[in-house]
């Protein structure tokens, strides 16, 4: 691809935005862009299927804070990528999804493999844009708009269609100017009558509920400062895990994961909830508490899932710092009070353990024990996610990658591969269900080829457990929710990975013992953890 073409221009912007990998699946309509990306030093990673490529882009963006980029061809490629694109939007992760399209002269009437991308992607993206011969001369603003829209609060996916006859059209050679790709630095807007902080200052039992905008704003240090200064316990949302250290004396658990009733009781008993970058897209339970809320976020409270008479809108770290700067008064909670709460939550989230069996919470604890502190963990979707979300102790933001917006199965393995590509020196562990693993297991072929030693722990219960439990509650037999056992170690070996089965806590400890050392090796590892799922019944 010659310099100055549309393909080169798009690749140039992607590279200038700091993106190192494009995750995709080829088709004739995008080979010019694949070549341009290669020439610009952006590695094009081919997933086994497009849906996984989009999850990889999302995982890379979650792990790095940079936009993720995925690529598909027209028609079947673009329809296949849809789920991952929707996932990025509902998980509030900036992703640029690029799809090729038939040449524009035939697009209006030709039918073979032609799908209207604009109509298909509109409901699951922040914007649908296109480059065609009529707009190639405006490629720069279109590409900048795509990047800026994807990353502007709240972030999400933007879809860009490029027709096949556009890639080699001239698009200019000027210096690439990448727009800002993050939240605003520091201003605070206040909505509502009177002093927005009066309620917070008057509160005797406030609780902070921190969410994903706090991660995007790098608000961890300010959360710690305010929590310590004012003595306020901090609950975090699942995708924000790590934004507040989980070994901190004021840490008060993860919303809507194992032991969730205890966390909701805390929120119900509080006299004020400071929602700090909390995004209601993460709610699994309905918002049923009547506790007053102070909304503090990068965007106004347009969801109105909870009522808030005042809104503090701006950079979450900046706004928390502003509150901390003006704070005075006694700590609202003592450290022992929060510790007592955490002990209750610990007991609740382990409830239902069957002694002498390999319980789901044991798997999470054993994996956490074996994993070095800088490990990145991903989860898939199902009962195991709800367990891992509470039991895995996170120490840093962007170290726990999970989908809790769209919550689509099939995320965990691709996200782990992308995480390892993004952070080649950090151990990566995927905690996935056997259903979600079956959807994406063959992606490990890519991990083996790229010599990415990710460790995948499969919660093998022979069941789509999360759904089987719902059937159980209604008295239905488990229809379409049981799966025959697959020999996972054999499957792993066949793809150039190592595979091992563990049926007891001791066997799992042994299987994961070399986790730290393995992360310097090359072969991915699949651990089939044969769990007793009965603990889930007490939980969910
Ligand atoms: C793509 C997709 N299809 C269906 C669902 C609905 N769903 C949510 S959890 C779940 C079961 C997952 O089973 P598994 O991966 O084995 O995890 P487990 O619940 O057993 O831990 C299903 C089917 C979903 N979230 N995503
Ligand atoms: Mg299962």
Q: How far is the CA of 383 from the centre of ligand 2 (A)?
A: 8
Three-state secondary-structure class, residue 453:
coil
Contacts of 91 (CB under 8 A, 6+ apart): 58, 62, 212, 239, 281, 403, 404, 405, 406
| Placement of tokens 């793809």 in the chain | 495
* Strand locations in 417-521 (E): 428-433, 455-460, 498-502
Closest CA to 335 of 251, 225, 246: 251
Query: Cβ–Cβ contacts within 10 Å for residue 109, how many?
Result: 7
The pTM of the full predicted model, rounded to 2 decimals, is 0.97
Query: What residues are neighbours of ligand 2 (ion), with CB under 5 Å?
Result: 433-435, 461, 463, 465
Q: Which ligand 1 atom sits nearest the alpha carbon of residue 360?
A: 21
Which of 407, 464, 482, 485 to mutate to test ligand 1, by most ligand atoms within 8 A of the CB atom? 464
The DSSP annotation for 125-142 comes to SSEEEEE-TTTGGGHHHH
The DSSP annotation for 343-364 comes to HHHHHHHHTTPPTTS--HHHHH
What is the Cα 412 distance to its own chain's centre? 9
Q: Quick check: CB of 382 below 6 Å from ligand 1?
A: yes
Tens of pLDDT, residue by residue, the chain (540 residues): 778 999 999 999 999 999 999 999 999 999 999 999 999 999 999 999 999 999 999 999 999 999 999 999 999 999 999 999 999 999 999 999 999 999 999 999 999 999 999 999 999 999 999 999 999 889 999 999 999 999 999 999 999 999 999 999 999 888 999 999 999 887 899 999 999 999 999 999 999 999 999 999 999 999 999 999 999 999 999 999 999 999 999 999 999 999 999 999 999 999 999 999 999 999 999 999 999 999 999 999 999 999 999 999 999 999 999 999 999 999 999 999 999 999 999 999 999 999 999 999 999 999 999 999 999 999 999 999 999 999 999 989 999 999 999 999 999 999 999 999 999 999 999 999 999 999 999 999 999 999 999 999 999 999 999 999 999 999 999 999 999 889 999 999 999 999 999 999 999 999 999 888 877 778 999 999 999 999 999 999
> Rounded to the nearest 5°, which phi and psi values hold at 305?
-65, -40
Three-state secondary-structure class, residue 299:
coil
Give the whole-angstrom CA distance, residue 117 versus residue 403: 24
Closest CA to 116 of 97, 130, 134, 126: 130
Three-state secondary-structure class, residue 162:
strand
> Rounded to the nearest 5°, which phi and psi values hold at 239?
-75, -10
Burial 433-470 (b: 16+ CB within 10 A, else e): bbbbbbbbbbbbbbbbeeebbbbbbbbbbbbbbbbbbe
Q: How far is the CA of 134 from the centre of ligand 1 (A)?
A: 44
Q: How far is the CA of 517 from the centre of ligand 1 (A)?
A: 32
Q: Quick check: CB of 389 below 6 Å from ligand 1?
A: no
Give the whole-angstrom CA distance, residue 45 versus residue 495: 17
**For ligand 1, atom 9: residue with the closest CA:** 382
């Amino acid at each position: 691809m010659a310099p100055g073409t549309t393909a080169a221009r798009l690749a140039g912007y992607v590279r200038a935005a700091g993106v190192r990998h494009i995750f995709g699946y080829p088709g004739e309509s995008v080979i010019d862009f694949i070549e341009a990306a290669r020439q610009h030093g952006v590695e094009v990673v081919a997933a086994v299927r497009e849906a996984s490529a989009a999850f990889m882009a999302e995982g890379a963006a979650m792990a790095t804070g940079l936009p993720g980029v995925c690529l598909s061809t027209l028609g079947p490629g673009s329809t296949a990528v849809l789920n991952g694109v929707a996932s990025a939007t509902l998980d509030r992760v900036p992703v640029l999804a690029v799809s090729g399209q038939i040449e524009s002269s035939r697009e209006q009437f030709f039918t073979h493999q032609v799908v209207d991308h604009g109509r298909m992607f509109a409901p699951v993206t922040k914007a649908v844009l296109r480059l065609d011969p009529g707009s190639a001369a405006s490629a720069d603003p279109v590409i900048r708009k795509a990047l800026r829209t994807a990353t502007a609060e709240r972030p999400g996916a933007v879809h860009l269609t490029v027709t096949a006859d556009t890639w080699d059209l001239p698009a200019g050679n000027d210096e690439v100017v990448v727009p800002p790709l993050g939240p605003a630095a520091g201003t605070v807007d206040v909505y509502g009558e009177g002093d927005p902080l009066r309620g917070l200052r008057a509160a005797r039992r406030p609780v902070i509920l921190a969410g994903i905008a706090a991660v995007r704003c790098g608000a961890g240090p300010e959360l710690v400062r305010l929590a310590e200064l004012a003595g306020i316990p901090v609950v975090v949302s699942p995708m924000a895990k790590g934004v507040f250290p989980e070994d901190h004396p004021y840490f008060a658990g993860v919303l809507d994961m194992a032991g969730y009733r205890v966390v909701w009781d805390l929120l119900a008993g509080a006299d004020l909830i400071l929602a700090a970058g909390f995004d209601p897209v993460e709610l699994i339970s309905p918002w049923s508490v009547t506790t007053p809320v102070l909304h503090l976020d990068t965007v106004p409270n347009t969801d109105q899932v909870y009522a808030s008479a005042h809104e503090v809108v701006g950079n979450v770290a900046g706004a928390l710092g502003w509150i901390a700067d003006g704070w005075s008064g006694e700590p609202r909670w003592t450290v022992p009070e929060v510790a007592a709460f955490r002990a209750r939550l610990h007991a609740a989230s382990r409830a239902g353990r069957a002694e002498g069996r390999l319980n789901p919470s044991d798997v999470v604890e054993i994996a956490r024990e074996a994993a070095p502190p800088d490990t990145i963990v991903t989860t898939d979707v199902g009962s195991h996610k709800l367990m891992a979300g509470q039991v895995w102790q996170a120490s840093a933001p962007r170290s726990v990658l999970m989908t809790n917006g769209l919550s689509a199965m099939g995320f965990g393995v691709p996200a782990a591969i992308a995480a390892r590509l993004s952070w080649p020196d950090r151990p990566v562990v995927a905690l996935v269900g056997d259903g979600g693993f079956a959807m994406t297991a063959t992606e490990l072929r890519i991990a083996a080829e790229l010599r990415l030693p990710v460790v995948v722990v499969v919660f093998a219960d022979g069941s789509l457990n999360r759904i089987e439990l719902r059937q159980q509650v209604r008295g239905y037999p488990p229809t379409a929710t049981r799966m025959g056992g697959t020999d996972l170690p054999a499957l792993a070996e066949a793809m150039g990975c190592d595979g091992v089965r563990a049926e007891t806590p001791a066997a799992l400890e042994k299987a994961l013992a070399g986790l730290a050392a393995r992360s310097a090796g090359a072969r991915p590892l699949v651990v089939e953890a044969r769990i007793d799922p009965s603990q889930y019944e007490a939980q969910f």
